Structure 1
């Protein structure tokens, strides 16, 4: 053999080509199967008392979840929103706490169960074509049954099993009961066609209720507006509903910046550059309250629908498909801003009786 010839590799130095490495060769024994690591028993595997404590802990967590579900249903029934801000907050808080405890109980119980009681051994199943013969089916069924028994669901730990299924079965009630209870609510969509605004109603600052004079509104200023009403009515149950439909955003522009400020009939709906529009987005009803002074755009923070208040609040961007309803305004003999009438079109998002 000449000096330029390479010697043949010895059988004890087998090589294999790594596809990801191109033409590189590496020793074959570098990729030996490490096998399944040795199982390290947990305290609950060796100490029956520790296993019993873990079982009690998991059971108590599931019971806590059940109590949270029951508590949210009780709160929904016994503490309904009474129309006041405090009442709505209290009802929402109690229902939310009940749901939080219910979900947290199920989640923490499941994690603790898996870490302390369920089997944690690693098993290897050789990859091969599964046949449909009786022996293969019997093996699969046996493996499934062994897994169920090892998880502690079947056979032993009856109290834990009852708490587990009880928590899972009751939790949907915390969502279903409020949904079922709302079916009998007010579905009269015609109520969205009219608000508290009427001819002569003064525009007032939200939330103080102080009437606004036109002289108080400077160019570029923004006011959150509600209809002027009595203090007694603002403390009533009806006020929350009526206010939610009547809220308005008012801005003063330079009159020359207004591209249009008239109704389809040609009536002027603004006063010396002061315009007022419904704050309720025509997409899904979020509050439109972000004003860009340089562009005269109103932005909805929920889905970024953008309206141009210099051009009848027409949609310039986003998913909303119609403009914000405009509140026609003027001034009274004392210089206060007042409504000429109610909105000329329904406020809020489109619904099945109003597609555009």
Structure 2
């Protein structure tokens, strides 16, 4: 039923209904996201993400220089694992502290570097680590990254560096998150 001036009698026109529906959907999506869907936050502790020791705290003693790549998960102070988003994947490697450029040392603990585990090229999971060349690699398209140099791309096709997760030392040599990822996790432009 049309009122004077072409407006609907009860104030509902097609545009209002569509805008309202979009707003409701957006609000509902936000309401469903919980702490497990968030990226790592300052104050979270790191635990092992896979293997027989999954869920145990990551400690400096458990990360020898020259050791393997370690997948970690951030756990908030209430004990909720932040693994609801694939962009919260964390890769830890440990190199000799003197191999880390001075401008990157503030984000590391005793040579331990944390970076996003998602390749910035097309979003594949980073799975390779060569300690001799100090490079992480993505086997999807063979991009290589230098975690000790702020996640810098060493070999493309990726053009964007891996985001770095600042670390802090917790009680008993455990590793804690000292701040948000530096850079946006996931694939994207250079």
TM-score by length of 1: 0.40
- 1:332 match: 170
Instruction: State the aligned residue count.
Output: 156
C-alpha distance in 2, partners of 1:228/1:340?
A: 13
Look up the SS of the partner of 1:334 in the other structure.
Answer: helix
Q: Is residue 226 of structure 1 aligned with residue 47 of structure 2?
A: no
Per-residue deviation at 1:271? 0.8
| Bigger share in strand | 2
C-alpha distance in 2, partners of 1:260/1:285?
A: 29
Tell me: CA distance 1:260–1:298, structure 2 relative to 1, closer, same or farther (3 Å): farther
| Bigger share in helix | 1
- 2:5 match: none
Conservation of the 8 A alpha-carbon contact between 2:47 and 2:58:
yes
C-alpha distance in 1, partners of 2:122/2:166?
A: 23
- 1:202 match: 45
Conservation of the 8 A alpha-carbon contact between 1:209 and 1:229:
no
Q: Is residue 342 of structure 1 aligned with residue 157 of structure 2?
A: no
Conservation of the 8 A alpha-carbon contact between 2:83 and 2:89:
no
C-alpha distance in 1, partners of 2:130/2:152?
A: 15
Q: Is residue 215 of structure 1 aligned with residue 53 of structure 2?
A: no
CA RMSD, Structure 1 to Structure 2 (Å): 2.9
C-alpha distance in 2, partners of 1:278/1:301?
A: 15
Tell me: CA distance 1:343–1:223, structure 2 relative to 1, closer, same or farther (3 Å): same
**Aligned counterpart in structure 2 of residue 308 of structure 1, from 133, 146, 152:** 146
Tell me: CA distance 1:320–1:195, structure 2 relative to 1, closer, same or farther (3 Å): farther
Unaligned 5+ runs, structure 2: 1-24
- In terms of Rg, which structure is larger? 1
Unaligned 5+ runs, structure 1: 1-183
Look up the SS of the partner of 2:87 in the other structure.
Answer: helix
